[in-house]
Amino acid sequence: MGSMIIDGKTVEFNGETNILQVIRKAGIDLPTFCYHSELSVYGACRMCIVEVDGRGINASCHTPPEEGMTIKTNTMELRKIRRNALELLLANHNRECTTCERNSTCKLQDLAQRFGVRDVRFGERDVKAPIDTSSPALVRDPNKCILCGDCVRMCKEVQGIGVLDFANRGSKMVVTPAFNKSIGDVDCVNCGQCAAVCPTGALVVKSHVDKAWEAIYDQKTTVVVQVAPAVRVAIGEEFGITGGRSTIGQIATALRQIGADKVFDTSFAADLTVLEESREFIERFSEKKNIPQFTSCCPAWVKFVEQYYPDYMDHLSSCRSPQQMFGSIVKRYYARETGIAREDMFVISVMPCTAKKFEAERDEFKIDNNPDVDLVLTTQELARMIKEAGIDFAELEPTSMDMPFGFATGAGIIFGVTGGVSEAVLRQAHEVISKKELTNVVFKEVRGQAGVRAVETQIDGITVRLAIVHGLANAGRLLEQMKAGEVSYDLVEVMACPGGCVGGAGQPISFSASEIRSERGKGLYREDQLQQLHKAQQNPMLNDFYQKWLQSPGSAEAHEALHTHYGSRRRIDGEAISVNEFDSAPIEIQVCVGTSCYLKGSVNLLKLLTKKIKDEGYEEQVKLRAAFCCQQCAGGPMVIIDDKVIGKVSGDRINEIVQLIKDKLRVSAS
């Protein structure tokens, strides 16, 4: 606690970790590129510089507050430095703003306008780097990168993956995947959180708007649109409506005006997921088999398990995500009922999530190469289509969703916020286990914004232990604790994006992310309160659907249509890269630098091994290569010597590797 003088005014501080936070608390919008309260402090952009009396110019983001400080935030010198910094960034930045995906939501554009930068005195970059479109979910344009490092820290610190990092030095420095691979060829889980924090257009959501229009204009195609619950509390932000306010009625109206034939609610499929997943959980829990059960609604989380923790594959719920359940029932049953051929029905999902684009392309969700979900649009993309169509969204009269898949309970709606899946399952499991009607449907203990929340609840005298996790780095730490026997749970809900789906990378861009996520989450809980029915098992349309097509939750027909399976996934595809020039050497050593091994120090191991081999005089006898996956990630870092695989190799085992080289050379010589 203390106070300081900021621009002549006394401002108190209490718990703020840097003076930037104190300055903003005082109502001064100090500009930043690389500062995010949820990430580590980087201090690279220097936009947040201030003048501290007696200390000169300092970056406010990493200067702690002290009693009695006197600070100026707006002087002639500070303004000049900021303008120069902006000019230098613009000189190295592709300035085709009118055609950029982030036009009007770009921080660089905004600050250049704010500080009156009209002319850039420096030349433009000489050579343009190729644009990376290899990902199903994202587009990476290195020409627009300003090296703020936001994407690097998000991927490492919040998601625990680390597919992006800085490479090279000086004017050649870039942000890139390992060995300049395409982002589609590395361990990216398509969560898109890198794009959510990118202040420019260097990382953006891959647009499928043109494909959506093409399907809508095709007179032979019946376009069916499903809308995820988190979209309703976010899309309004694109049209001046307060975040957290539900606009599901306006969304339905807008989609019909755009040309959709039917508009349904993914919350119906979320109700369906509750019944199937609850049954699966109760069966596992009673048999103590493959417990804990992990939720499988989040495709980025599923890919994370496939890549890093394949030993836990059997713990994933076999339920498809609500998106994929919806696509399946529409193309299997609704198409049959309406007399429309499967190939003539085009299912579009409107999702808050970029990983859903990847999920829709998975082979598990295709029949004769025809996908259950044909196209995924993010909230951002739907907003763009509404604007293209000239629709005044804020003034639209709300209309209802179409039946039968437009009716949902509050349980399905709260799927969009962290803890919502657990709460919806508890509302069902309580009644099934206790055989009593549940009157209080609110489970406040599973709600909240903490990254990991452990909860114990009693169901008819039986203790059920739950963990609710959001952010994949948190999920990874929890899995490691489980492997070590430090914690134990019965049900674990995981969502890749901070805050759950409300914080998905496909939602409208916001630079006050934690606050807006909170408002969106509150909006979903308000929607739940306003519903007449709060439990998935109460959904009359769902019960009718089971009677007509699926018999009961967990039936053979339900399992065929609503469940799936997953498998271990390679981390990085592609050839190994030679580290030295002795490709004809008699011994080949490969060090895995796939993400799992990389995070465990394999790159440093490769450096130490290279030096040791050279120092011992074996450099010309060893072909040293960086490999991209040994498919034994739990045991990394991995080293392969010819056909011998060695796991958990640390720096203190270098001598062991060298001894193996000596032994092989001795055998070869004899």
- Active site members: 277, 280, 297, 317, 356, 359, 364, 501
Phi first, then psi: give them for residue 238, nearest 5 degrees. -70, -10
- Amino acid identity, residue 570? R
> With left for phi above 0 and alpha for psi between -120 and 50, is residue 171 left, alpha or beta?
alpha
For residue 338 the two structure tokens come to 């309406």
Task: Return the sign of the alpha-carbon dihedral for residues 498, 503, 506, 510.
Answer: negative
Neighbours of 608 (CB within 10 A): 16
Cβ pair 209, 179 in contact under 8 A:
no
Q: Which of 506, 200, 523, 232 is nearest to 380 (CA)?
A: 506
- At 526, list the tokens: 């308000």
Element (H, E) at 515: helix 513-530
Amino acid at 114: R
Q: Of 209, 128, 139, 191, which Cα lies nearest the Cα of 384?
A: 209
Token look-up 């630098």 returns 593
Residues β-bridged to residue 278:
none
* Lookup result for tokens 């009922």: 337
The radius of gyration of the chain from alpha carbons, rounded to an integer in Å, stands at 27
Q: How far apart are CA 628 and CA 619, in angstroms?
A: 22
- Beta bridge partners of residue 456, listed in sequence order: 465
Q: Copy the structure tokens of residue 86.
A: 């902006």
- E strand or H helix at 557: helix 556-562
Q: Quickly tell me which residue has 């392309």 as its tokens.
A: 361
Measured CA angle at 397 (ends 393, 402), to 5 deg: 100
